Amino acid sequence: MTTVSTTRQELDYAGSERLTMNMGPQHPSAHGVFRAILQLEGETVVGVDAVIGYLHRCHEKLAETLTYAQYPSIASKTDYVAAMTSEFAYVMAAETIGKIEVPKRAQYLRVITSELQRVASHLLWLGTWCLDMGGALGGGATIFLYCIREREDILDLFESLVGARLLYGFYQVGGVRYDIPDGWAAKCRETVDLIDQRINEYQRMLEENPFFLVRTQGVGVISRDLAEDVGISGPLLRGSGVAFDLRRAAPYSSYEDFEFKIPVETAGDCFARYRVRMVEFRESLAIVRQALDKLPDGPISSRPGLKSVAQTRIPKGETYARVEGARGEVGCYLIADGSAKPYRMKWRGASFSNLAVLPHVIPGHKVADVVAIMGSVDPVFGEVDR
């Protein structure tokens, strides 16, 4: 009598065993809670099943129970590494449906904070990614500690502006909550100049390191076709040869007033994504400088005062608002029914789509490359699971 094998082992054509390896959910390279069930042939990955949802809080249901004044500070908990841009998408959706004007000064303050946030987020990405590939980079934690040091400077700026270092609640429907305090602009310029210099230093440290190049060049190639099909966005999409940046493609919040380049690389590998982000650092810093130079006077909100904000009601309508976050297109599809709370809110997290590309890219790579590829995707699990 033949029996059906119930073990997980399968035999491949060469007669060797396939091994199922569990990576995560508490693996340090995941930067959060992410489980990948890898099918291995020797050291080569032949199949990936990604398990997500460990951080799921059902933000979309939450948004239906919270008012337009309450939700922005919860929105920052989706992508908690770039909280400013998450809040931005939500308030922009509400403002679009309600046809609420945002004063020019508030628009500029939004630009300054989003760009500083992008730099802070990219710094955390660079540091942790290099730490993941640690041993190969001679010195391991060096870049990580440098990047965290610079990120702290930006968080200090946010702290003196908002009072919080990570989750802000700075944006609100109609404008922003606080104006910049005395001396903030000067301090900001100092920080920007400092980071601008140090980025060059890091770039030299990494690009003159042959181990870094070997571990990133030609690894994790995402073709343009796959990139668009899966809907990855931000630095990943631009690393695969698509010049698509919402700040240029569909300008919002006065981005058309600033001059900046959209970096594009065509290789589609980890190194290309790294190069795109390295240019984005400098472009973001340049935007901050321009915005500080041109910062207009005037009110910071078209709905000043606590009462007016708390009573925000948005008329019937629907829209899809999107901003270019640090990880790509952060979108908010909002349906308003005329009350103080939305009828439906769909959160399009950039990391969710970016992570969805992994099962298409990882097979064929070694286990060690999985770490490099995952780091180059830069997922934030608050935004994946929402």
Partner 1 sequence: MSSATVSADEARALIAERFSGSQVEGTSPMVVTVAPDAWLPFAAFAKETLGCRFFSFLSATDWKDEGLEVVAKVDNADTNLSLLVKSRLGAGVTTCASLVPVYRGADWMERECYDMFGIRFEGHPDLRRILLQDDWVGHPLLKSYAVDTPYPPYR
Q: Using the rule CB under 8 A, is 229 a contact of partner 1?
A: yes
What's the CA gap between 201 and 254, in Å, rounded?
32
String marking each residue 300-329 x if it binds partner 1 according to CB under 8 A: --------------------x-x------x
Packing angle, helices 367-377 and 104-132, rounded to 10: 170
Q: Using the rule CB under 8 A, is 228 a contact of partner 1?
A: yes
Region of 204-212, 230-238, 255-263, 286-294 interacting with partner 1 (CB under 8 A): 230-238
What's the CA gap between 121 and 151, in Å, rounded?
8
What's the CA gap between 207 and 190, in Å, rounded?
26
Site for partner 1 in 99-128 (CB under 8 A): none
CB of 72 to partner 1, least distance (A): 20
Can you name the residues that pair with 40 across neighbouring β-strands? Answer: 19, 45
| Residue 301 three-state SS | strand
Site for partner 1 in 29-58 (CB under 8 A): 52-53, 56, 58
Nearer to partner 1, 327 or 348 (CB): 348
Region of 149-157, 237-245, 278-286, 372-380 interacting with partner 1 (CB under 8 A): 237-245
Q: Using the rule CB under 8 A, is 249 a contact of partner 1?
A: yes
Name the residue with tokens 């602009």. Answer: 185
Region of 148-156, 215-223, 225-233, 291-299 interacting with partner 1 (CB under 8 A): 225-233
What's the CA gap between 36 and 217, in Å, rounded?
23
CB of 58 to partner 1, least distance (A): 5
Nearer to partner 1, 378 or 385 (CB): 385
Write phi, then psi, for 321 (nearest 5 degrees). -105, 140
Token pair in block for residue 328: 């790509």
Q: Using the rule CB under 8 A, is 266 a contact of partner 1?
A: no
- Nearest alpha carbon to residue 160 among 184, 143, 137: 184
**Cβ-defined contacts of 12-19 (< 8 Å, 24+):** 12/41, 16/41, 16/42, 18/46
* Residue type (1 letter), 142: T
Token pair in block for residue 252: 């919002």
CB of 228 to partner 1, least distance (A): 4
Which of 40, 292, 356, 367 binds partner 1 (CB under 8 A)? It is 356
CB of 379 to partner 1, least distance (A): 13
**For the chain, how are helix, strand and coil distributed in percent, rounded to 5?**
50, 15, 35
Site for partner 1 in 60-89 (CB under 8 A): 60-61, 65
| Residue 279 three-state SS | helix
How would you label 299-320 residue by residue, b for 16+ Cβ within 10 Å and e otherwise? ebbebeeeeebeebebeeeebe
Nearer to partner 1, 273 or 348 (CB): 348
Which of 331, 342, 375, 379 binds partner 1 (CB under 8 A)? It is 331
Nearer to partner 1, 140 or 363 (CB): 363
Q: Using the rule CB under 8 A, is 292 a contact of partner 1?
A: no
Query: How many residues of this chain bind partner 1 (CB under 8 A)?
Result: 36
Token pair in block for residue 6: 């119930």
Binding region for partner 1 (CB under 8 A):
52-53, 56, 58, 60-61, 65, 225-226, 228-231, 233, 237, 242-244, 249-250, 320, 322, 329, 331, 333, 335, 343-344, 346, 348, 352-353, 356, 360, 385-386
